Amino acid sequence: MTSDKKDIAEKVSELGGIQPWNHNFILSGGVETRPGTQVSHGKNLVKLKRLQPLFDLLELDGKKVLDMGCNEGFFSLEMASQGAEVTGID
């Protein structure tokens, strides 16, 4: 494991000890925040199905977005993947 990957894995573990990760994000070097079955991830996928038509209407590519109450950033990451410049605040 490279030094960077090791550092990221240690930080993920440290933060997970404070509060368990709700979602599994795959970070640099393949480090996962919560590998395995996700309990709450499905809820966000259901919400995303409802929000996606709005995202499409807004044409997020190139837009600046503020995601207030972003939690772990599920929707922030989704909007960023659609081209938005996202700032998430929890």
48-84: per-residue pLDDT in tens?
889 999 999 999 999 999 999 998 888 999 999 999 9
Rg of the chain over Cα atoms, rounded to whole angstroms, equals 15
- What is the helix (H) or strand (E) element at residue 42, kind and residue range? helix 41-58
Specify the 3-state DSSP secondary structure of 2: coil
Amino acid identity of residue 80, one-letter, is A
Q: Are 29 and 5 in contact (CB under 8 A)?
A: yes
* Entry pTM: 0.59
Tell me: the pLDDT tens digits for 3-58? 799 999 999 999 999 988 877 888 888 999 888 766 555 678 888 889 999 999 99
Closest listed residue to residue 35, CA positions, set 16, 11, 7, 14: 16
